[in-house]
Amino acid sequence: MESFLHKALATLIFSGLLVLLIILAAETPLWAGELPPRIPMEDFFRKPDMTGFQISPDGRHYSFLKPWKNRLNVYVKEIGSDEEAIRITSSKDRDIYSYGWLNDSRLVYFQDKGGDENSHAYAVDIDSTNFKDLTPFEGVKAMLEDVLEDDPDHILLTMNKRDPKVFDVYRANVNTGEMNIIAENPGNIAGWGTDHDGKLRLAITVDGLKETLLYRKTETDKFEPLITTDFTDSVSPAIFTADNKGLYVLSNLDRDKLALYLYDPEEKKFLDLIYENDEVDVGGIIWSRERKKLLGITYYTDRLHRHFFDRETEDFFSMLKAQFPDYSVGISSMSRDETKMIVYMASDRMPGRLYFYDRNQPGEFTLLTDLYPWLQEEWLTERRPITYKTRDGLTIHGYLTLPLGRDPKNLPVIVNPHGGPEARDRWGYDAEAQFLANRGIAVFNMNYRVSTGYGKKFWMAGFKEWGQKQQDDITDGVKWLISEGIADPERIAIYGASYGGYATLMGLIKTPELYACGIDYVGVTDLFTLFESIPPYWEILKERMYHTIGHPEKDGDMFRENSPVFHADKIKVPLFIAQGANDPRVVKKESDMMVEAMRKRGIEVQYMVKDNEGHGFRNQENQFDFYRTMEEFLTEHLKLQ
């Protein structure tokens, strides 16, 4: 459970500024009528030469991730210097994925062990000295709360060190590791929030199905409740106003879709409605720390869109669009004064190119890296938005990736429901979809009911519908593909991860006639076991899970009816299961039970377990092994040529 304000700021950086919404995708594939070359599997999933670029606060350096001994590590380079970049980390066991700048000369990164998700916070100087494990505690999960840009020597972290079930807030010295607890979680706080000065002034409590937004005027005051809602109603702080007195909040109170409001915490009342969209939720905000101003908002229909409140910002993004007219374009990192930045361009057929840009030198874009130069754009295919109707009249949005050079009729198809399940699929480059399409397979992604972003009613329509109406939405999509003549009814497979793995198993159980085979990747097999094995810090959300998924005792019959492990005998087609031994979310025991149940009945099942992985494979050699086995499995059972 990350801080809600931290997540809002992450939205600002990584979705609000990362992708420009104008995308000009070709209507007709460039390879129409001609097959593209067969691209090696490794080319889709191997690590980029450089990725994850970030600008230092003072704009003098940039950092990036680069493979070293087959693991992504952090490098730092001085901007404008001819000197080689310096590697400042030495991770040999696992990639570093999450990192950032603490101040002008020091960085932090987060890393777990073997996929157990108990991440430590490590700090290191830009010359690779003064390495420090800031959270050297076993079995403890550390997360970033606030970098404290105005205090270069400290950082705010949340940890479940005192109590595995809850996260307290600590102020840590980034040089020495010395830390003090500044807010103790009474047991019901699910998230914290800071103002622009790094002062801890917001919290959200969860009590059963009720959520309460707490506020205090200063850090010396006690938290007081502002508003209490049912968890299906949301009043989620996005950011404080520039003077730290008001709040911008995303709320769906008395409405279906999340909208952006101005809220007065002293008067405890909503003020202005800033922006609403009739089709979808408002997704996030675009904020300028330098100008202390709300610049715009983001929302997501088939693709990401923005609405601007600031003409200068709108003009700037228009300039980026003119510079890179055929791509989505945005900003992934900026210096403190917002003059130096990393500009990102990508599309559904191009994974990404990164440029350095200095606003003091308008029009000059310096290429930093092409993320996957070995993948030619003309060899890849479009991710096309689609919609279809369910049997009870809901409109489902999704995406279809068709193989190039093939008539879109009677194709082998992979049905690929997303994980979560309270998440959604998005437009953009998808390595799995491109890999499978290159093998001649169409890939079908759908945002079934309970997927987020489409409003409260659509989300709630999926409550207590695991294996039932959620599964029907997937089934109806498959039947739509068949009725459209796109799918060959004899060559359809279903594949998914986490909840998508669960949906894979339930698809094979409930509609065995639809599928030739299935691939379950770290998927839930037993709803009873799911509740028994949840991490301790999910306990606070257990009542909510009872409401959205079901209660193991009160809904025991439903759980048994919709837990794949009790219906293994109904699976008649080949199945491939992959599992991380250290998975804290879907424990190995679940997959073990499913495999045992199937093998007892003589059903063909391949089982891959990686001892150094968790909820999904991170290490490249394990990813290669998984996708290599996937290709062999699908080639055989979908009768690929």
CB 211 within 8 A of CB 205: yes
Q: Are 462 and 454 in contact (CB under 8 A)?
A: no
> Is residue 615 annotated as a catalytic residue, yes or no?
yes
For residue 472, give the 3-state DSSP assignment. helix
- Residue 506's closest CA among 563, 449, 465? 563
d(CA 128, CA 87): 7
Percentages (nearest 5) of helix, strand, coil residues in the chain:
20, 35, 45
Packing angle, helices 469-483 and 499-510, rounded to 10: 70
DSSP 467: T
The answer to whether residue 15 is catalytic is: no
From the list 161, 162, 157, the residue with the least C-alpha distance to 173 is 157
Q: Which residues contact 34 (CB under 8 A, 6 or more apart)?
A: 404, 405
Phi, psi of 480 (to 5 degrees): -65, -40
Task: Exactly one of 332, 335, 583, 591 is catalytic; name it.
Answer: 583
> Which stretches of 170-298 are DSSP H helices?
none
Is 120 catalytic? The answer is no
Q: Which two tokens stand for residue 386?
A: 């689609």
Contact in structure between 508 and 575 (CB atoms under 8 Å):
yes
DSSP-H helix ranges across 59-148: none
d(CA 191, CA 203): 6
CA distances from 167 to 31, 112, 143, 237, 443 (A): 52, 17, 9, 19, 40
The residues facing 418 across adjacent strands are: none
**Residue 560 backbone phi and psi in degrees, to 5:** -65, -40
Q: Which of 498, 520, 526, 591 is catalytic?
A: 498
CB 203 within 8 A of CB 191: yes
* Cβ neighbours for 458, distance < 8 A, ≥ 6 positions apart: 394, 449, 450, 451
Q: 515: burial class by Cβ within 10 Å (0-12, 13-18, 19+)?
A: buried
Positions marked active-site: 498, 583, 615
